[in-house]
Amino acid sequence: MQLEKQTEELDAREDRNERFADVQPIVKYNNITKSFGELEVIKGVDLELYPGEKIAMIGPSGSGKTTLGRLLMTLEEPTGGTIELDGELLWHMEVKGKLVRADEKHLHRMRGKVGMIFQHFNLFPHMNVLRNVTMAPRTVLGLSREEAHDRAITMLRKVGLEEKLEVYPSQLSGGQKQRVAIARALVMQPKVMIFDEVTSALDPELVGEVLEVIKEIAREGEMAMLLITHEMEFARDVADRIIFGAEGRIVEQGTPEQIFENSQSERLQSFLGRFAGAASQSL
Ligand SMILES: Nc1ncnc2c1ncn2[C@@H]1O[C@H](COP(=O)(O)OP(=O)(O)OP(=O)(O)O)[C@@H](O)[C@H]1O
């Protein structure tokens, strides 16, 4: 029975991976490098993310995972290489046949295609839950009060917070705050969502409820998702593909089965070994 279920899951995952074979990527990093002063933290990364694909990015602390997300969110500018988003260059534009740095107008328009959720929720403390979620659709997308309200309610229902519309962030648990932050990003209907270690600031007992919400969004959605995480079980459950990065490079990538059951590089084996050690210690 158990074996049957596993086989079904594998088949479903293979079907999904085949689905990406004929489509254009929604995101494409081309030989991306990023330095902070003398420190080169991204060292020539090529990565494609397909519409609807869920990629989990794992790797040691300081390996450049967050920086890759921030480059796509236009919070950091690449030092070298290009990023394509939804068929257009993100950081560059062509002027008179030459590639130049994109202007603010272009960056602003492109930024609207991406949503990012951070470790710290950054809610507006003086606004209730509903206003936190309707704020950007009203001001950035120019939606009417009713449209923004309807969209916000749909998203707050999705994250299980439709009962908390009038409540202020200080009255919410960490898990609830993070779910508001997720609704606030979803309401903008981005094409790509980046989740950056969204549970690492939470008390352990609140981690599960947030991961469940993300899994649900992943299951239903056509949205591409980049999930930066230290939660290995979650990565295994949710991802179509896992990227293992270390010291600014992609060292290995594959399906969860390939990464967790058949890892090739010593670097990945030792990384996963450390996790297994930590898990058995905490039992
Ligand atoms: N604004 C910055 N200025 C200088 N160095 C930075 C800056 N942002 C990141 N770094 C450095 O870049 C490297 C990669 O950081 P990054 O946060 O991308 O790693 P990470 O893999 O996400 O780590 P973690 O899992 O701990 O979040 C680190 O050495 C970090 O100190």
| ipTM (interface predicted TM) | 0.97
CA of 63 to the centre of ligand 1 (A): 7
**pTM, rounded to two decimals:** 0.90
Ligand 1, atom 31, lies closest to the CA of 62
Ligand 1, atom 4, lies closest to the CA of 36
Which candidate, 152, 146, 74, 82, places its Cα nearest to that of 113?
74
What H or E segment, with its residue span, contains residue 78? Answer: none
Does the CB atom of residue 61 touch ligand 1 within 6 A? yes
Average pLDDT of 160-172?
A: 96
- Determine contact, residues 114/194, Cβ cutoff 8 Å: yes
Two tokens at 33? 């490098």
Ligand 1, atom 25, lies closest to the CA of 61
Those residues with Cβ within 8 angstroms of residue 66's Cβ, 6 or more apart along the chain or in another chain: 196, 197, 228
Q: Is the pLDDT of residue 130 over 70?
A: yes
- What pLDDT digit, counting tens, does each position of 24-38 carry? 999 999 999 999 999
Ligand 1, atom 13, lies closest to the CA of 62
Does the CB atom of residue 28 touch ligand 1 within 6 A? no
Ligand 1, atom 24, lies closest to the CA of 61
CA of 273 to the centre of ligand 1 (A): 23
pLDDT of residue 275: 74
Does the CB atom of residue 74 touch ligand 1 within 6 A? no
pLDDT of residue 243: 97
